[in-house]
Amino acid sequence: MLNISDNKTKLPKLDRFSTVKNLVNRPHYKILNKIIVGVSIIGIIALFLPWTQNISGSGSVTTLRPDQRPQSIQSVISGRLEKWYVQEGDFVKKGDTILFISEIKEDYMDPNLVQNTKNQIDAKKQSLQSYGSKVSTLTGQIQNIEREKVLKLEQAQNKIKQSVLKIKSDSIDLVAVRTQLKIANTQYNRSVQLNKEGLKPLTDIEEKRLKLQEVEAKIITQENKFLTSKNEFINAKVEINRISAEYAEKVSKANSDKFTALSSQYDTDAQVNKLENQYANYSIRNGMYYIKASQNGYINRALQSGIGETIKEGTPIATIMPSKYDIAVETFVNPIDLPLLRKGEKVRVWFDGWPTIVFSGWPNMSYGTFGGEIVAIENFISVNGKYRVLISPDKNDEKWPNQLSIGAGAQTIALLENVPVWFELWRSLNGFPPNYYKPAVKPTTDKK
Q: Which residue has the higher pLDDT, 177 or 271?
A: 271
Q: Looking at 124-133, 188-197, 301-310, 326-335, which range is the least confident one?
A: 188-197
Task: Identify which of 94, 86, 141 has the alpha carbon closest to the alpha carbon of residue 257.
Answer: 141
For residues 355-374, one letter each, b for 16 or more C-beta atoms within 10 angstroms of the residue's C-beta and e for the rest, the string is eeebeebebeebeebbbbbb
Per-residue pLDDT of 416-425, as tens digits, reads 655 566 666 6
pLDDT for position 8: 54
How deeply is 331 buried, as exposed, middle or buried, from its count of CB atoms within 10 A (0-12, 13-18, 19+)? buried
Please report the DSSP string for 275-294 in residue order. HHHHHHHHHHHHHTTEEE-S
pTM for the model: 0.54
Helix (H) or strand (E) holding 74: strand 71-74
Average pLDDT for 359-384: 73
For residue 301, the surrounding DSSP H or E stretch is: strand 297-302
Residue 277: its pLDDT value, please?
Answer: 92
Q: What is the pLDDT of residue 422?
A: 67
- Mind listing the domains of the chain with CATH numbers? 52-68+325-430 (2.40.30.170), 71-103+289-322 (2.40.50.100), 113-287 (1.10.287.2610)
Region 278-300 average pLDDT:
87
How far is 206 from 192, CA to CA, in rounded Å?
9
Q: Which residues sit opposite 292 in a β-bridge? A: 97
The pLDDT tens digits for 29-87 are 667 777 887 888 877 776 666 655 567 788 888 888 888 888 888 888 888 888 888 88
Cα–Cα distance between 354 and 402 in angstroms, integer? 12
* CA 351 from centroid of its chain's CA atoms: 43
Q: What pLDDT is recorded for position 371?
A: 84
Residues 95-123 pLDDT 10s: 888 899 888 888 888 888 888 888 988 99
CB crowding 203-222: b at 16 or more within 10 Å, else e = ebbeebeebbeebeebbeeb
How confident is the prediction for the chain on average, in pLDDT? 78
Least Cα distance to 75 among 310, 408, 332, 274 occurs for: 310
Q: Does 439 have pLDDT greater than 60?
A: no
Q: Do the strands 409-420 and 50-63 form a parallel or antiparallel pair, or are they unpaired?
A: antiparallel
